[in-house]
Amino acid sequence: MALSRAAGLALASTLGLAATLGIAGCTNTPGPQPSPSLSQATALCAQTKDTTSDGMLEMAKVWPKSTSDMHGYQLTTFDQAACSADANLTRPAPADCDGYFPWIASTPQQVQAILGSNGVSAMYQAVVSGDDPVPTGQTINPQEIREVVLTMRGSHAIAGHPVAKAGQFCGTSVDGLAYPAYRLTVHSADTGSDITGLMIIAKSTLIWLEFDQPGWTDQARLRAAKLAIAARPFL
C-alpha cells in the first residue's frame, strides 16, 4: 500500500530541509536548495540528515495492529552564528494563523534562520502512517501524523521562542496533557481540507503534531500526544 506523501513533502519544504522526508519503502526526491544569492553563512545555518526514530513517534505504538508501516525520520542541526548572519532573515514575521507551521516565516531560509538564531539547536521531523483494524470487507484507510520536535540549547525554556508564542497566539488551550498544549487548525496539502494540529510546550522542547486523513478523534489525538511526550523520557 503506497503512502500519499504530498503533505509530508509540503511540511519538509516549509521547514527548509536539504532533502525531503523519506518514507520507508519510497524513493526520496530532491528538496529545496539554498538560493545562490544567499551568503555562505546562511547556507551553513542548517544541516539535515536521515536519522532513527529515537525520541519520536513510532507507527507500531500509535497503530499497534496496523497492516502497514510507513515512516520517515530526519534531523536538522543549527549553527547559531551562521543562522544569525542575516538580520533580514532572523526577524520573525507577524503570526499568520491561517498559514503553516511555524506561522512566522515565508521561506525555508527564514524558518532556518529564525529557529537557529533564537536558540534552537536541533529540529527532529517524522512522518508516520498506519491504520486500525476494520471488519473484513471494509476499506482500510491509513491515517498520518507529521511530527516536528524543536529542542533548545542547554536548558533554556522554549516557551518564549517566537514559534511557541505564535502557536499560543493562534491556538486554543488543550487540557489533558502534562504540559501546556494548544490546538490549531491547519490546511492539509494531502486531502485539501482543514486538519487539527497540537503544539506542546515542554520545558526546553516544543512538539508539533499534525493529524492527517479522516477518522481522528480528540481522544486519539491526545493519546498520540502522550506517546510523543513519553518518547522523550528526559522531559
Domain range annotation of the chain: 6-23+41-130+145-230
Residue-wise pLDDT for 163-217, tens only, equals 999 999 999 999 999 999 999 999 988 888 999 999 999 999 999 999 999 889 9
The whole-model pTM stands at 0.84
The pLDDT tens digits for 89-128 are 999 999 999 999 999 998 999 999 999 999 999 999 999 9
Q: Judge whether 70 and 128 are in contact, CB under 8 Å.
A: yes
pLDDT of residue 12: 53
Q: CB neighbours of 65 closer than 8 A, spacing ≥ 6?
A: 132, 133
Q: Where are the alpha helices (DSSP H) in the chain?
A: 6-15, 40-43, 59-62, 80-83, 87-90, 108-117, 162-170, 218-230
Q: How many whole angstroms separate alpha carbon 234 and alpha carbon 79?
A: 23
Kindly give, in sequence order, each residue whose CB lies less than 8 Å from that of residue 131, ignoring residues fewer than 6 positions away: 63, 66, 67, 68, 140, 141, 142, 143
Q: What is the mean pLDDT of residues 13-34?
A: 41
pLDDT at position 106 is 87
Per the DSSP assignment, residues forming a β-bridge with 199 are: 182, 208
CA–chain centroid gap for 158, Å, is 15
